[in-house]
Amino acid sequence: MFFVLFSFLVKFNVDCFGNPVPQGGFVVLDTLKVPLNEKGSAELQLEQGNYSFTLALPGYRVLKGRIGVMGDTTITLSPEPMSYYIPGIVVIADRYKKNVSDVSASVGFVSRADIALSGAFTTPGALELVPGVSIQRTGLYGRSDIIIRGIGTNGRRLGVYVDGRPEKMTLFDCSITHALPLHNVDRIEIVKGPFASLYGSEAEGGVVNIITRIPNTGIHIRGGSYNTGEIEVSGRLELQPHTIWATVKGMRSDGHLEHSKFSGEDYQGGFTGSILNWYLKGSYKYFSGWKQEPLAVGDTGMPSSEQVYRRGSFDLEIRRNIPSGEIKIKGFRTFGHHIFSDGWESRDRTSGLFLDYTVLGIKNLVGVAGIHYRDGYGERIGTPGAEFWKSDFSPFVHGSFEYGFLIVTGGGRYTISIVCGNGSSVEYKMHGYDGGIVLKTLLGKFRARYDKGFKIPSISETFLFSSGNPSLKPENIKNIEAGWSYNLRGRFYVDLSVFNTYTENFIRTVPTGSMPPFRFENADTLNEKGVEAMVRIVPLNGFDVSVGYIALDRGTKTLGVPLNTWNFKAIYTHSNITAMLDGRWVYNYFSGDNFTLPRNDYIVVNIGARMNLFKKGYVQVNIENILDTDYSIYVVDIPGSSGFYRMPGRSFYLSTGYEL
């Protein structure tokens, strides 16, 4: 009788978001300490079983976890940097991983630590940290619309994605942003400006991609002003090589104004694993929320608008590495049911299949080619025959070639879209393309790009209402942009952009003088010009300060869009305490076009501080609007009214949590 003791090769790889791995790091596995080599990896032989590990890396937060060893395995670890603006890897800008400094587009991102310290209640709230991004909202919760460089229109002119899955309501082509996840978010990436070759009709003003993470088992609680409260419980099960997880979150608030209550529940879950060398990832989500909308500033009477939003999704992604790159297949379905107090009720759903092939193995060349197909359906409940369809078929290609100090990027997309309703249909055939260069020099990196994009009319603009117009032409977008960035050893970073975006056949409503009272027409042009800048300084270890600025020139179209905005953020980290001071200064803000009805300038400052407790827990305090500034934000197309809505004054929130 004899026993054979098996051991397996376990390899740890460290990914510092595309930056060089600092020397002096090590992995502790139970009681065994293994230093990282110059490539940022460590190898060791382990017997079958479960192990605890700790990764320690200079300039990064300690990362802890558990692994199960059942065979040879490779584990990639991505620790969180102490400095939150280290330029790193972005996926969104080219649909494949690439260093930020090598991308010709203007990009921004919000880290997990930024989200936590900001005290934001919704995804759009966290995006206010990004220069060039503003938010239209009526309160802490409820509907919020993202504006990038002055373009948004309730999300109809932006691409909004969760892990690459498009989040759009079929009938309106808008994004229900308060149904988007903020918990379980790893980071948010933003592309500023059109990017039709990769994102098609949705990317007129830019793209937002919310990248999620697998949560740990734990509980998080937050409460504060206006009887606001949240509780989130998550669970995670490791069955190597598979992981299963789920999260439940409840939210409520009385709101800061009369008739602005909110309550909601959010359910998320998913799994990861591998079968026959294919990597699998699946997820589901369901959100149900009820919101009262208050009166706009200057409105009289009793507010009565209430909305119920129920939205969900599920998707499955499979990937496989091959010698020359990666094959990825993603199938998904999104769905929703909306009920408003004014009698509106609708259902919608969208199914899609994305096939992508990423080229990585060819010298100096990376790129992606694919075919994206979506089929959408929507109905207005209670109106006979009010059923509508929209389908899109889009092949595309995009690539990047690097030779020495020069990087050249470019690509194109061809889209066939069919919109159906009221017994008729309209077919659109459009194409978009872009080209850009990045020049690396001792004086920094210079970039320039040109985009030609398009926006296909939505169901709401063509068939849904009596004001619809099936004869609408797609909007045509042209954008030219140039920029410069410089990074001095991670202590000083500056980025400057100038841009000019021109839109032809801009769709808006035009009075008819009869019934219906207005009609959608290609009645305008829109020219957005501007300058955008960001400076980040790390004066001392533990300190991180950044300032951003945007100046917009929209011609005479000044209604409701801030023309000048400063953003600032300062982070201090010492031992187990981290604090962040952030805010914005907005001026040249108008209630009308042609620079009429100017609003008061305003400065809003927020502070958040977190203390880690017992290695796995924390307590955090946030004070929002510590100056108690009285200010309002413009919101368009809220059911019942458009106008300026008063924002909360000084408010306090306390949160705590514990994770295994």
Is there a contact between 374 and 350 (Cβ–Cβ < 8 Å)?
yes
Residue 189 CA to residue 133 CA, distance in Å, equals: 12
* 297-299-300 Cα angle (round to 5): 135
| pLDDT value at residue 3 | 36
Residue 574 CA to residue 220 CA, distance in Å, equals: 23
- CA end-to-end span of the chain: 41
- For residues 463-489, give the mean pLDDT: 92
Domain-terminating residue out of 77, 106, 123: 77
| pLDDT value at residue 499 | 96
Question: Would the pLDDT of 82 be above 70?
Answer: no
Domain-terminating residue out of 45, 77, 109: 77
- For residues 356-376, give the mean pLDDT: 87
Of the listed ranges 58-62, 403-407, 413-417, 640-644, the one predicted with least confidence: 58-62
| pLDDT value at residue 95 | 60
Q: Is residue 202 part of a domain?
A: no
Residue 416 or residue 12, greater confidence: 416
Q: Which domain holds residue 604?
A: 212-659
Beta strands in 554-601 (DSSP E): 564-574, 577-587
- For residues 16-32, give the mean pLDDT: 67
Q: Is residue 142 part of a domain?
A: no
Question: Would the pLDDT of 198 be above 90?
Answer: no
Residue 643 or residue 374, greater confidence: 374
- For residues 55-65, give the mean pLDDT: 71
pLDDT per residue as tens digits for the range 265-307: 999 999 998 888 888 999 999 999 999 988 888 777 766 688 9
| CATH code for the domain in which residue 15 is found | 2.60.40.10
Q: Tokens for 94?
A: 């080219």
Q: Is residue 174 part of a domain?
A: no
Q: Is residue 504 part of a domain?
A: yes
Rounded to the nearest integer, the mean pLDDT of the chain is 87
| pLDDT value at residue 548 | 95
Question: Would the pLDDT of 590 be above 70?
Answer: yes
| pLDDT value at residue 84 | 38
- For residues 94-121, give the mean pLDDT: 79
- For residues 205-232, give the mean pLDDT: 93
Q: Is residue 206 part of a domain?
A: no
Question: Would the pLDDT of 570 be above 90?
Answer: yes
Task: Kindly report the backbone phi and psi dihedral angles of residue 430, in degrees, each rounded to the nearest multiple of 5, phi listed first.
Answer: -135, 160
Is there a contact between 64 and 29 (Cβ–Cβ < 8 Å)?
no
Residue with tokens 């009805």: 597
| pLDDT value at residue 1 | 33
Residue 177 CA to residue 126 CA, distance in Å, equals: 12
Count of CB atoms situated within 10 Å of the CB of 193: 29
| pLDDT value at residue 376 | 96
| pLDDT value at residue 96 | 59
Q: Is residue 634 part of a domain?
A: yes
Q: Is residue 415 part of a domain?
A: yes
pLDDT per residue as tens digits for the range 386-396: 999 999 999 99
Count the domains in the chain.
Answer: 2
Domain-terminating residue out of 20, 46, 77: 77
| CATH code for the domain in which residue 603 is found | 2.40.170.20
Q: Is residue 93 part of a domain?
A: no
